[in-house]
């Protein structure tokens, strides 16, 4: 089993410009499944109320707010109709100096190796929020400008990228000035161990959703008995083991409905449901419509 299968392997940006902007606003529910990646991510909650999971904790986030997700941190997001958010994902290496200095020693290097953290969540009540929001909006604008540059317009693209980097430093300086940076102990602490165990379990479920998944097999991954494991999973993920497995299977089924012409009975079997009637029941419970209605709605929206 690859314990890193939950790792998001998509490249964010390019080798030369390793950062990317993602935006979402929609009229239907949408779930960003639990995942992690090597890059840092800023999420700007612009409008609405969001349910988010950061590592092992659930948050109800009311816009406006900004989340700072560090490399390796598990996170997921539930987006509801009318909500608007965007995210900037970037490699922390772009902040590193070639020549060592005090800022590299006290801020950049500790940030890169996990000894220093940005605050997980800030909102309008935080004194630092107005400036961070302003920085984010300017960065968002510059990323869009950079993305619009023609391939041959190297000067304009490099200038925009340099401005984006300067804004990232401005964000870091603002957090530092307002004493918002969090010093952590050695990363090999109890919480990190717990998160790694959860990654093992969730990765196993994501790899084996199409087959029967036994509770005992999941419990053995983290050296717990089955009864205690059920409580452990619910406390940290916020769902029962069965509920989470079904949620993953439904998301995979929704992808198949959107991307293939397979029959519903085939999709049910391919995603681990032995009973088609139960599959339709679970799908409607998760998505609010039956699988056939879901597919028809996708066809109409094209």
Do 36 and 54 form a contact (C-beta atoms < 8 A)? no
Retrieve residue 122's tokens: 């800030």
Strand order of the sheet with strand 65-69? Answer: 19-25, 84-90, 40-47, 65-69, 121-123
Domain topology for 19-183: Jelly Rolls (2.60.120)
Q: Using CA atoms, how far apart are residues 232 and 228, in angstroms rounded to an integer?
A: 6
pLDDT in tens, 233-261: 887 777 789 988 998 899 899 889 988 99
Which of 31, 189, 202, 32 minimizes the C-alpha distance to 115? Answer: 189
190-301 has the same fold as 19-183: no
For 94, other C-beta atoms within 10 Å of its C-beta total 16
Write down the domain spans for the chain: 19-183, 190-301
pLDDT at residue 2 above 50?
no
For 167-201, what is each residue's pLDDT tens digit? 999 999 999 999 999 988 644 555 677 778 888 89
Which fold is adopted by the domain 190-301? Arc Repressor Mutant, subunit A (1.10.10)
Distance CA(38)–CA(137), nearest Å, equals 23
At 286, list the tokens. Answer: 């998760």
Answer whether 0.85 is exceeded by the pTM.
Answer: no
pLDDT at 218 over 60: yes
């Amino acid at each position: 089993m690859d314990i890193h299968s939950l790792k998001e392997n998509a490249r964010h940006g390019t080798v030369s410009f390793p950062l990317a902007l993602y935006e979402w606003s929609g009229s239907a529910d949408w779930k960003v499944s639990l995942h992690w990646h090597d890059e840092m991510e800023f999420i700007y909650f612009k409008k609405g109320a969001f349910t988010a999971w950061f590592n092992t904790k659930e948050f109800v986030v009311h816009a406006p707010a900004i989340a700072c997700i560090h490399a390796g941190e598990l996170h997921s997001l539930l987006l509801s109709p009318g909500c608007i958010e965007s995210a900037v994902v970037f490699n922390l290496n772009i902040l590193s100096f070639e020549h060592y200095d005090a800022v590299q020693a006290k801020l950049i290097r500790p940030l890169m190796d996990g000894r220093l953290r940005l605050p997980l969540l800030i909102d309008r009540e935080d004194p630092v929020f107005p400036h961070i929001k302003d920085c984010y909006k300017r960065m968002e604008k510059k990323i869009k400008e950079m993305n619009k540059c023609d391939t041959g317009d190297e000067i304009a693209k490099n200038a925009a990228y340099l401005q984006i980097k300067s804004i990232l430093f401005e964000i870091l300086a603002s957090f530092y000035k307002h004493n918002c940076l969090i010093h952590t102990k050695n990363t090999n602490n109890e919480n990190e161990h717990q998160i790694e165990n959860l990654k093992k379990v969730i990765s196993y479920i994501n790899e084996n959703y199409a087959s029967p998944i036994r509770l005992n097999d999941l419990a053995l991954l983290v050296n717990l008995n089955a009864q205690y494991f059920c409580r452990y999973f619910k406390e940290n993920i916020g769902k029962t083991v069965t509920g989470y497995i079904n949620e993953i299977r439904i998301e995979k089924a929704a992808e198949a409905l959107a991307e293939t012409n397979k029959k519903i009975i085939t999709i049910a079997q391919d995603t681990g449901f032995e009973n088609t009637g139960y599959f339709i029941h679970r799908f409607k419970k998760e998505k609010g419509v039956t699988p056939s209605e879901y597919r028809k709605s996708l066809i109409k929206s094209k």
